[in-house]
Structures are given as C-alpha cells and as structure tokens.
C-alpha cells in the first residue's frame, strides 16, 4: 500500500516496529512458560499420590479381607484361609454361571444346555470331592460351557475346591492320603 503521508513514516521502519513488538511478545510468553514450569517443578508441593493410595487401600479392605495363601505348601489340606481365598475366586470367575451361592442360578447360566451345576446339591459327573472337582477345574467338562481352568495356579484351583466343599451338601468321603497322592502326582499339576 502506498503511504498516504509521504515522509512521515518509512514503510521499512514500520516493519521494524512491528517485528520488535512481535519479539517482545515472544520473549514475554517464553519467560512466562519458563516461570510456569519453574513453579511447577520447584515451588508447587505436588499431588500426594500416597495419600490417594492409602484411601484406596482402606476402601478395598472394607470390601474384602485379603488372605495370603502364597505360603501354604500343601493347598489340598483343608484350611479356612484357602476357603476364604476360594470364595473370592468363585465370586470373580464362577458366580456368573453358578450363582453367588453356587446354586447353579447365575445370570449367564440360564440359557445354557446343560445348565451350570447346582454345586450345593450336586451330582458329580467326575466323582466330586477334592480329586473330582480338581480334575474338572483342570480339564473342564467338554463339550459343555464348563471350560478348563488350568490357567489358574494349582493353589487357586485347590482354593476353589475347598470353597465348593465348604458349601456343598453332596460331600464325598475321601482318604486324606489319597488326596495328597493325587495332588503330588501329574494330575495335581
Ligand atoms: C460359562 C458358565 C460357567 C462358568 C463361568 C463356570 N462353570 Fe462350572 N459348570 C458349567 C456347566 C454348564 C456345568 C455342567 C456341565 C455338564 O453337566 O456337563 C458346570 C459344572 C461344574 C461342576 C460339576 C463337575 C462335575 O463333576 O459334575 C463344577 C464342580 C463346576 N462347574 C465348578 C466351577 C467353578 C469352580 C467355576 C469357576 C472357576 C466354574 N464352574 C465356572 C458352567 C460354568
């Protein structure tokens, strides 16, 4: 654009003024950003994650008491911690089909044929008891919806077995020595 007042302002010096303003604005925001990060890094006390963790731990402790079964060397021996651990695993993995109390009335099981077993009443296709239930957990009952749970650690499968034993009326009399022999053999893997 031609200058309307010749001589009053050279276009080149106007250009200089404009750039200087831009530089000042740039430096200003640059310093602002530096100060902001400096504040966050060195001055702001930060968020205490530990505090949040403690709250979360307290809440989960209210929901359920964790049991540590990792030190149990013979998980096939009846033990109330194992039953408690099994109860938790049952709620997580099995209740959708077998129902919260194991009565075979879980929401996901209603459309299945055959239906999930009522674990309180039985009966047992694989003989039941510690060895029968453990076998079913390891191998499943193909071709039914009862799949193999061999991906669960042996201690977890034994915990489920002990939980079933704690709720069922269809108990099986088994010799403790026989159970131990089974558990230490290839089928107890
Ligand atoms: C997807 C649904 C489903 C889930 C989840 C499920 N089951 Fe089953 N379960 C079944 C069905 C269906 C049967 C009956 C199969 C048959 O009669 O052939 C069955 C049968 C059984 C039996 C009877 C065994 C026997 O010898 O007759 C036991 C014990 C059992 N389930 C335990 C469990 C445990 C423990 C879990 C969790 C780890 C579990 N099930 C998860 C569907 C399920």
Which atom in ligand 1 lies closest to the alpha carbon of residue 133? 29
Name the residue at shortest CA distance from atom 5 of ligand 1: 94
Query: What span, in angstroms and rounded, lies between the C-alpha atoms of 68 and 85?
Result: 8
Tens digits of residue pLDDT in 11-65: 555 666 678 888 899 999 999 999 998 888 888 877 777 777 777 777 666 665 6
Instruction: Calculate how far, in angstroms, residue 175's C-alpha sits from the geometric centre of ligand 1.
Output: 24
Which atom in ligand 1 lies closest to the alpha carbon of residue 115? 12
Q: Is the pTM of this model over 0.75?
A: no
Q: 94 CB under 6 A from ligand 1?
A: yes
Homologous superfamily assigned to 80-188: Cytochrome c-like domain (1.10.760.10)
Q: Do residues 138 and 132 make contact, with C-beta atoms less than 8 angstroms apart?
A: no
Domain ranges of the chain: 12-44, 80-188
Q: Residue 169's pLDDT band (boundaries 50, 70, 90)?
A: very high
């Amino acid at each position: 654009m031609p200058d309307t007042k010749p001589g009053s302002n050279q276009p080149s010096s106007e250009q200089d003024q404009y750039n200087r303003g831009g530089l000042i604005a740039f430096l200003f925001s640059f310093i602002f950003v530096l100060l902001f990060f400096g504040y966050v890094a060195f001055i702001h006390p930060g968020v205490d994650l530990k505090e949040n963790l403690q709250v979360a731990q307290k809440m989960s402790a209210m929901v359920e008491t964790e049991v540590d079964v990792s030190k149990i060397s013979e998980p096939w021996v009846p033990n109330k911690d194992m039953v408690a651990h099994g109860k938790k695993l049952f709620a997580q993995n099995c209740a959708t089909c077998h129902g919260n109390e194991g009565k075979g009335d879980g929401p996901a099981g209603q459309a299945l044929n055959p239906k999930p077993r009522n674990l309180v009443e039985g009966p047992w296709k694989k003989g039941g008891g510690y060895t029968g239930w453990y076998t079913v957990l390891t191998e499943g009952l193909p071709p039914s919806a009862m799949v193999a749970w061999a991906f669960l650690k042996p201690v977890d499968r034994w915990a489920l077995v002990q939980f079933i034993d704690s709720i069922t009326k269809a108990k099986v009399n088994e010799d403790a020595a026989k159970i131990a022999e089974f558990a230490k053999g290839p089928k107890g893997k």
